[in-house]
Amino acid sequence: MTISTGVIGASGYAGGELLRLLLGHPEFDVAYISAGSNAGEAITSIHPSLTSYAGESFEATSAARANTCDLVFLALPHGESAKIIKEINPEVKIVDLGADFRLKSSDAWSKYYGGSHAGTWSYGLADNPIHKVEIKKSTRVANPGCYATAIALAAAPALAAGFMDSSDLVVVAASGTTGAGRSAKVNLLGSEVMNSLTSYKFGGVHQHTPEIEESLSAISGKSVGISFTPILAPMPRGILATVTAKAIGNISAKQLRESYINYFADSEFVHLLPEGSMPATSSVLGTNHAHIQVALDEHTQRVVISCAIDNLGKGAAAQAIHNANLMCGFAESTGLLEYGVR
């Protein structure tokens, strides 16, 4: 029996990626596709590559239509999911790709997003063993942010093993332009972005900062503090994150690698690369995979981790489907078997 599925906010980049991936899912039958300001427009006018949806148009966003589905993905701007969720029946399974239900702290929400805190759902970091158990029992799951996914996967094993100082993680991560959404912005024009790198929202003000700290604190059982510098990269999609922190104890590079192998032993999607091989965004393009490499910098006694994901795949749509698979009792890899282009 297939699962009647809706995608609300399907005209955005993450929504389009959901539609693309759902075409290959044998259990999720897309029955409702909505887009607020694009309602009535042809789906292929926004997503021309999705020719399987030729002749179909975006519907208006409607809680009543959502209630005809068994499963709904919300791919809305921050603050919008909380408005519609009150009208959706509690038996409808929901994965929210926005930030509305990720944070536990209402103070952090007010500081980084503004407005009223809508509440907290199960956190959908699907490859983390701590979260996976809860996701399987949930009907409401908050999909992690793209940066938060890459950074949490990179740091979790070393923190859980007690191999690095949790109080001072330094993170530098570059993201493709789709991470900024589809709205037209001068600084995202091709002529502005190409052949250029630029930092933005640095100095502790990026909205994923409290999410990353909350997630890693839950994983490590310790208070986590990060200094996060995001970089806009001249590419449409992908994230490459580098995480460093002071090493704790007299650990070896072998012990560090073993902690990652053991931590992700039951994950089909997180891969510690062979020594000498480095993560590349092209290797995970369009997938739910994360590639990781680790090192022990003996000169400064720091742990160094590099992680590559696709911000629209692992960082958004693919992980949302991964979460939905867990929620619905399907194999985790159902509909997510693609590998990257390199």
pLDDT at 179 exceeding the cut of 70: no
Whether 252 and 319 map to the same domain: the answer is no
- Cβ-contact 91, 81 below 8 angstroms: no
Asked if the structure places residue 115 within a domain, the reply is yes
Mean pLDDT, residues 80-93 taken together: 95
339 belongs to a structural domain: no
Residues 102 and 58 in one domain: yes
Contact 310, 287 (CB under 8 A): yes
Does 177 map to a domain? yes
% pLDDT > 90, the chain: 84
Examine the domain organization and report whether 292 and 159 are in the same domain.
yes
Q: Are residues 86 and 121 in the same domain?
A: yes
pLDDT at 131 over 70: yes
Domain of residue 42 covers 3-143+314-328
Whether 120 and 168 map to the same domain: the answer is no
| Type of residue at 259 | S
H or E segment at 220?
helix 209-220
pLDDT tens-digit map of 205-222: 888 999 999 999 998 899
The token pair at 312 is 């629209």
Structurally, the chain folds into a number of domains equal to: 2
Same structural domain for residues 261 and 273?
A: yes
What DSSP assignment string belongs to 17-71? HHHHHHTT-SSEEEEEEE-TTTTTSBHHHH-TT-GGGTT-BPBPP-HHHHTT-SE
**Cα–Cα–Cα angle for 308, 309, 313, nearest 5°?**
170
Q: Is residue 178 pLDDT above 90, yes or no?
A: no
**H-run or E-run covering 108:** helix 106-112
In this structure, the answer to whether residues 288 and 209 fall within a common structural domain is yes
165 and 226 share a domain? Answer: yes
Q: How confident is the model at residue 204 (pLDDT cuts 50, 70, 90)?
A: confident
Q: Is residue 334 part of a domain?
A: no
Question: Is pLDDT above 70 for 282?
Answer: yes
Is the pLDDT at 180 greater than 70? The verdict is no
Contact assessment for residue 292 and residue 307, using Cβ atoms and an 8 Å cutoff: yes
Residue 287 shares a structural domain with residue 220? yes
Q: Contact 29/324 with Cβ under 8 angstroms?
A: no
Same domain (yes/no): 296, 308: yes
Residue 197 contacts residue 234 (beta carbons within 8 Å): yes
Give the CATH number, domain containing residue 197. Answer: 3.30.360.10
Report the CATH number at residue 112.
Answer: 3.40.50.720
Whether the pLDDT of residue 339 is over 90: the answer is no
At residue 68, does pLDDT exceed 90?
A: yes
Asked if residue 341 belongs to a domain, the reply is no
Residues 130 and 201 in one domain: no
Query: What burial class does residue 244 get, using C-beta atoms within 10 Å of its C-beta: 0-12 exposed, 13-18 middle, 19+ buried?
Result: buried
Active-site hit among 69, 146, 307, 328: 146
Is 307 designated active site? no
Residue 16 lies in a domain: yes
Q: Is the pTM of this model over 0.85?
A: yes
pLDDT at 181: 59
Pair (299, 162) in one structural domain: yes
Query: What is the arithmetic mean of pLDDT over 223-231?
Result: 95
- Tokens 């044998």 appear where? 26
Is residue 84 situated within a structural domain?
yes
User: Is 272 among the domain residues?
Assistant: yes
pLDDT tens across 10-27, in order? 999 999 999 999 999 999
